[in-house]
Structure 1
Amino acid sequence: MPPIFLCFYCVFFISLKPCRKPLMSVLSVRFASHSSAGVKQKNDDALAVKVAHGGELVHKGITAVIADGASCCSSAEIASRTAVTDFINNYYSTPDSWTVEKSATRVLSALNNWLFAQGHRALNTEDSLVTTLSAAIIKGQTAYLFHVGDSRIYLYRDNELALLTQDHCHYQRANKLYLTRALGIDNKLQIDFKSVPLQVGDQLLFTTDGIHDAISPQQLTELMASQQELQDKSDAIAAFAADSHSDDNLTCLLVEVESLPLQTMTEAQSILTSKVIPPVMAVGNEIDGYKIVKVLHSNTRSHVYLVESSDETQWVLKAPSENFSDDPQYLEGFVREAWVGEQIDHDNVMRCQPADSESPFRYHLCEYIDGITLRQWMYDHPTPDMALIRPILKQVISGIRALQRHQMVHRDLKPENIMIRNDGTVKLVDFGTVQVAGLDEIERFNLETCPVGSVDYIAPEYLMGHKGTFQSDLFSLGVIVYEMLCGERPFSLKDPKLNPPTSLNVWQYTPLAHRKTKRPLWIDLAIKKACSPNPKNRQHALSEFLHDISQPNDELIEKFERAPLIERSPLTFWQVVAGLLLLANLVQLYWFNR
């Protein structure tokens, strides 16, 4: 009798009954399995399938896992059960903003450490917890595979069977001797990862070695083609393996893709426009129990109000303008801003909360920040000392780090999007263009047709058509700090969005010494590195930039002093060259006139 996976069968087959009719634009699968002890006394294999619903289905997908506890261990079935249950439970507990790869590898690493630690404490080697694991997470139109050990995942498409995983075991003369990689073997885990684009009708076949060691690939392909129903296929495969004198447990799992989510702009637009944009409101009006106290901002793009709830808590209510009711990219950014603000709870990041789910209106609520923008602060402090700038910089970096931990890049850092409360707390705001790795795996959330961000602060890699990283935010931060120091920006580009540069050479940094400000060279070098057009040449961590801007970096200073004049000061270099050319022309003119 199979150990734990029967519990999974009951849960998923009863509460998550597969749909026979594919739902338009919704990911759906059907599945079947067989697991038995075979010729052995107990079954050390485990498997499970979890089909999520609603937002969890969109952001986390469907997960199928199979595991085979090492038969040399007395606790093999405990190892396989634990691997399957903990992997699924913990994967669905990771942040929605994380990519599938990051979520699953983090979970597997922690799981491996636990299994290894338990086995390490055991008095006998036989009490170790070692198991294989092969998992597929289906999200969007892609299957993300995670594999360690000698269980397998195949793809059956158009009557052809393709092996997607590689066995991690040592063979001698075609005989398997031992596993070289598995969960619980070592405290350092190496997981095989790959992503596979899916089509409707694709079937993923998961097997443990009791199946595929007894059946040839050709026989397995014929068995897949011989039956129509998934349950009949899995039973036929197990029966064939038994008849072929398999000496191990017999476990196989079949997952068939019934429908995949559509990834078109039309679908995204219909989702984003499902609620009504509220009309322009005035002081005293109410919406969903929130009373308008003050109109903070109103223009052709959005309307922002200070509102008060029934318990007298103040919020900022933001609603889109009717002018953009048919603009999917604008509405996607509006929805994204609220979603990002709901994910992060950090002192230096503006907190958002969604509107009432039953409300027919499209709006969201943000915490009320009683203060000024960094732009206003710059007007009030035209020539600030670094002692005033550093506390602000530290908090901005703290907010960017909070985004970074959620695999997010702000992409629109500028003085207008940094708020300073009256008590000195700095807040990052405006998340409409935030790049979220987890959402980027769902193409329908990708409606951008041009580089995002403000022209004066945008990182070069965006304009060159590349994705952003935290170093893109670092570039924008470097420009902001430069502007705080001298009131100008380090680069002068004309309409880079309308005329995208084809080379990084167009970004020519103007040293602070050429501005009307006196700042130490080491500060200028730190900012110049952060503003390097090539991301590879910037600081490799936000903390490195903070360190460089707080105290001299001897390495940067030495590198500057060793550099040729054309690198240290291009303007001075070309002035010298022009002077020499002028002198040469004068000398030549003198000799001709003699």
Structure 2
Amino acid sequence: MRPFMSFDVDIGHASHKGPRERNEDFAAALRAAPHEAGRGLIAAIADGVSAGGHGLVAAQTAVISLVNDFHAVPATWETTVALDRLLGAHNAWLVDHNRRRSGDASGLTTLTAVVLRGHTWTVAHVGDTRAWLLRGGECTQLTHDHAFDHPDLRSQLTRAIGLDDSLRIDFHQGELQIGDTLLLSSDGVHQVLKHAAMRELLGAAETAQQASERLVEAALAAGGRDNATALVVRVRGLDAGSLDDALLLGRQLPIPPRLKVGDTLDGYVITALVANTGVHRLVQARDAATRELVAIKTLHESRAGDPEERAMLAHEAWLGRTVTERDGQGFVRVREPRDPSAFYAVFDWHGGRTLEQLLEAGQAFSVEEIVQGTLAAARALGRLHRQRVVHRDVKPANLHLGDDGQWRLLDLGVAISGREPPAVRSLHAGTPSYMNPEQWEAGHAGADAASDLYALGVTLYRWLSGRLPYGEIEPFQLARYRRDPIAPSRLRPELPIWLDHVVLKAVARERQQRFETAEEFVLALERGASRPLAAPPATPLVARDPNALWKIAFAISLLFNMLLVVWLLFLPR
């Protein structure tokens, strides 16, 4: 079993212009901030192509934009998707920039980037810069040059950033191991030094910086006539696992045995049995090292052999870690297990109760308390949606008030992130009474961010009034939506009218009348009476019942025919 360690790398960089007038190579590496270490590290090298003196600019802008923007994309994006979109956007910009320049004053560049994330390396490659992996004394070239295979045409690239509207990128991925050394080199290094010499220089150097300097010096000493650049990354410790790592552990590790109070699991002492759904077991435990309480979620032993359930729990744990790595407010933080002997997920423990439990117990809430709780939930949804995640099951049972007074959104088990297992994607997830009506219409694509906002609106309506806006909904029961909801203030007179307008907008029958984003929902609640929303219009009869016109026409026709019969049979002519 690979140990879970903090992400630890040694980085070295050296570059020299050689006999050229200017150095048109450029390289950089950037680690994610400590509070979002799960995003890993990105390193890139580019070799600008001299055309009117703009090769260096092309190389610099390509590397800087990629390195700076990579950690800003949604954390749920798969690594190759993020690299493809960022490089594609920069290529489009550079192509357009080149067209605006006069004459031959254009800038092209090669680029090779490597991302270390979790226990995986990913390489993106365009041109004739290269990526290498040194492992166990063997040095392997990870990329293939995009240049003509002829001695007189080797400087002629077949692919480059800024060359064409369509950018084709090579992607390569593999497992990362402690002790690996990755090298990014420009052709001024690898076209001069032999493979064996590079392997020896990489392996003999004590530090990454020393290795990069020795490679550049050796290339120039061997008669190199081009810019020479080397960027070296040595892996000394692995980061927390990625989704692929979590899925792998979910397949390989056994399910824990049925746990009892007093049992120990990897340093966690079981202190209480919390829930058994028949699919999952949830227990409270105390971390023997920190003395903190945690919640441990495992699969029920009857589901131990179900690969889909294993994949769903792995996705839930990974998604929880990803969502909370930058800002855990509004969610329950997921912890990385320490060298686990079994497959399970570990969450922070928060005492308290869900909104469903509080409402069933008759808990009374003031208007201010309800608004603040809804604001917390809406902000949490906003953070999810900005990472392209849809919760799909927002309801009072998944809104938790902790003993610390903080509201948190629970249960990402059916959330979709774009990387969820097929079993999650195929679920028609959600609670019917909290699902927007268009989900029951034929041909609808399924839940999206708007579905979460509607569900929060239904939650707010019930919180305020004690009722559901359209009553209990059964699947595909569209007849329930043929009346507009009653304003909550008619059921609870102490509610302000501005809050009526907010909640009725949130649960409007027509999608285009609802809030478009969580931020819009938050703004309406924050402004309150100072800038109230307009009263929502009544839903037209035709919108509530598309067959209404036909029914009216039929009724008129029937009445006309009855009058005609009466006139023909009973009235004097």
Query: What is the letter of the counterpart of residue 380 of structure 2?
Result: G
What SS does structure 2 have at the residue aligned with 1:148? helix
Aligned to 2:435: 458
Counterparts in 2 of 1:383 and 1:369: CA distance versus 1, 3 Å: closer
Q: Which residue of structure 1 aligns with residue 334 of structure 2?
A: 352
**Does residue 1:291 correspond to 2:269, yes or no?**
yes
Which residue, out of 531, 540, 548, partners 2:516?
Answer: 540
Mapped contact 1:292–1:305 kept (Cα < 8 A): yes
Q: Structure 1 pair 37/334, CA: closer, same or farther in 2 (3 Å)?
A: same
Distance 1:514 1:242 in 2: 73
User: How much has 1:320 moved relative to structure 2?
Assistant: 1.2
Three-state SS of the structure 1 residue aligned to 2:296 is: strand
Deviation at 1:413, TM superposition (A): 0.8
Residue 22 (structure 2) aligned to one of 42, 45, 50: 42
SS at match of 2:431: coil
Q: CA deviation at 1:387?
A: 3.2
Q: Which of these residues, 230, 239, 244, is aligned with residue 152 of structure 2?
A: 239
Gap change, CA 1:579 and 1:420, over 3 Å in 2: farther
Match of 1:386 among 364, 367, 379: 367
Q: Specify whether residues 177 and 321 from structure 1 end up closer, same or farther in structure 2 by C-alpha distance, changes over 3 A only.
A: same
CA contact (8 A) 1:149 1:169 kept: no
Does structure 1 residue 169 correspond to structure 2 residue 104?
Answer: no
Maintained 8 Å contact 2:246/2:315: no
Relative distance call for 1:385 and 1:565 in structure 2 (3 A) is farther
Among candidates 320, 323, 329, match of residue 302 of structure 2: 323
Structure 1 residue 473, shift from structure 2 partner:
1.1
Please list the CA deviations of residues 360-415 of structure 1 after superposition, one character each: whole Å capped at 9, or x if unmatched.
21112211121111101222347755333212111111222232343322111111
- Within-5 A mapping of 1:441-480: 448-460=425-437, 464-466=443-445, 468-480=447-459
**Is contact 1:230-1:254 (8 Å) kept?**
no
1:512 is matched with 486
Q: Deviation at 1:428?
A: 0.9
Call closer, same or farther: CA 1:478–1:453 in 2, change over 3 Å: same
User: Which residue is equivalent to 2:279?
Assistant: 301
Report the CA distance between 1:459 and its aligned residue. Answer: 3.7
Q: Conserved in 2, the CA contact under 8 Å of 1:170 and 1:177?
A: no
Residues of 2 paired with 1:564 and 1:445: CA distance?
Answer: 39
Structure 1 stretches lacking a partner, 5+ long: 1-9, 14-34, 51-55, 105-135, 138-142, 152-164, 183-202, 209-228, 245-249
| 3-state SS in 2 of match to 1:146 | helix
Q: Are the aligned partners of 2:391 and 2:412 in contact in 1 as well (CA < 8 Å)?
A: yes
Kept in 1, the 8 Å contact 2:481–2:544? The answer is: no
Aligned 1:483-522 pairs, distance under 5 A: 483-491=462-470, 495-496=474-475, 507-508=481-482, 510-513=484-487, 517-518=491-492
Q: State whether structure 2 residue 67 is matched by structure 1 residue 88.
A: yes
Deviation of residue 517 (structure 1)?
1.7
Q: Which residue number in structure 1 is paired with residue 376 of structure 2?
A: 395
1:321 is displaced (CA, Å) by 0.7
Distance 1:399 1:433 in 2: 16
Shift of the alpha carbon at 1:276? Answer: 1.0
Say whether the 8 Å CA contact 1:292–1:307 is kept in structure 2. yes
Name the SS for the 2:90 alignment partner.
strand
Aligned residues: 446
Change (3 A) 1:589 1:569: same
Alpha-carbon distance, 1:458 to partner: 2.8
Q: 1:329 to 1:526 in 2, by over 3 A?
A: farther
Point out where structure 2 has 5 or more consecutive residues left out of the alignment.
1-9, 31-35, 110-123, 130-141, 158-162, 176-243
Distance 1:475 1:321 in 2: 32
Q: Deviations over 1:23-60 (max 9, x none)?
A: xxxxxxxxxxxx9999973342547999xxxxx9x988
Answer whether contact 2:379 2:519 (CA < 8 A) is retained. no
Change (3 A) 1:434 1:331: same
Cα pair distance change 1:370/1:60, threshold 3 Å: closer
- Taking structure 1 as the reference length, the TM-score comes to 0.58
Q: Give the root-mean-square deviation of aligned CA atoms.
A: 5.6
DSSP-derived class of the 2:432 partner? coil
Distance of 2:99 and 2:501 partners within structure 1: 52
- Whether 1:526 aligns to 2:502 is yes
Query: d(CA) in 1 for partners of 2:287 and 2:347?
Result: 13
Shift of 1:430: 0.8
Distance between the aligned counterparts of 2:41 and 2:365, measured in 1? 50
Q: How big is the shift at 1:326?
A: 3.1
CA distance in 2: counterparts of 1:567 and 1:383, whole angstroms: 36
TM-score (norm 2): 0.60
Using the TM superposition, give the Cα deviation of residue 70 of structure 1 relative to its aligned residue in structure 2, in angstroms. Answer: 8.3
Change (3 A) 1:205 1:346: closer
CA separation in 1, counterparts of 2:425 and 2:169?
33
CA contact (8 A) 1:100 1:144 kept: no
Q: Tell me the distance in 2 between the aligned counterparts of 1:363 and 1:426.
A: 25
Could you tell me whether the CA contact under 8 Å between 2:52 and 2:106 is conserved in 1?
no
Select which of 183, 206, 212 maps to 2:127.
206
Quick one: distance in 2 between partners of 1:272 and 1:419?
A: 28
Is 1:434 aligned with 2:410? Answer: no
CA contact (8 A) 1:461 1:472 kept: no
Matches of 2:545 and 2:146, distance apart in 1: 73
Give the AA of the match of 1:435: I
Give the SS at the match of 1:283: coil
Instruction: Name whichever of 384-393 and 546-555 sits farther off.
Output: 546-555
Q: Identify the match of residue 366 of structure 1 among 347, 358, 379.
A: 347
Q: Does 1:272 align with 2:269?
A: no
- Cα separation, partners in 2 of 1:46 and 1:385, compared to 1, 3 Å: closer
Whole-angstrom distance in 2 between the partners of 1:273 and 1:254 = 34
Residues 103 and 242 of structure 1, relative CA distance in 2, 3 Å threshold: closer
